Amino acid sequence: MKKIFLALIILTSFNTFAQKPCEIDREFTDSLGSYKSLKQQLVFERSFAGNSNRIYFTLSTNNGILSLETEMLQQSNEFIKANCFDKNSKIYLQLNNGKIVTLRYNGHETCGTLLRSEDGKNNRITTATFLFTKENFEDLKTSKVTFMRILYGTETLDYPFKTSLVSVLDNKTYEPENYFIDYLKCFN
């Protein structure tokens, strides 16, 4: 009886600490090279007084260069101020071990696209790709991200990460702090 109980505990602990699967969203190779990206994951959500802000991450490789694709969705009944990315834009990730990892914007100046939905709400969609630098890159594989600071063209905004996030939009549970720990392994 003790052996059966011990076996059940061991099997349960394997399932509890199992790694997340690598959910590939797009992968192709052609004459220009190869591309692979993971399924998009929500890492930040704020809803208050009819305004909402969501940030999604997607890890991808383009010809072996690892990047972080971000998508920011803002929704409001009022006009939405544009936060633009330019050549000086960066993302700073503060890790649980005290280190900071910097990602640099890789693209042209953009302020996103403002759309009006059928229900009369304003929606701003801003996408951007950031490249990893060599410094502290390995720390992302082992240390949780507790805080993100985005340096836009004209201002800096801070986004605290949660251990667990239940989305208002889709009612799914996400783990923003563990995003890089869970998904960087997909590109080794």
Model confidence pLDDT, tens digit, residues 95-117:
999 999 999 999 999 999 999 98
Burial class of residue 18 in the structure, from the number of CB atoms within 10 Å of its CB (0-12 exposed, 13-18 middle, 19+ buried): exposed
What digits encode the pLDDT tens for the residues 113-148?
999 989 889 999 999 999 987 766 789 999 999 999
pTM, rounded to two decimals: 0.85
- Residue 85 dihedral angles phi and psi, to the nearest 5°: -100, 140
Does the pLDDT of residue 35 top 80, yes or no?
A: yes
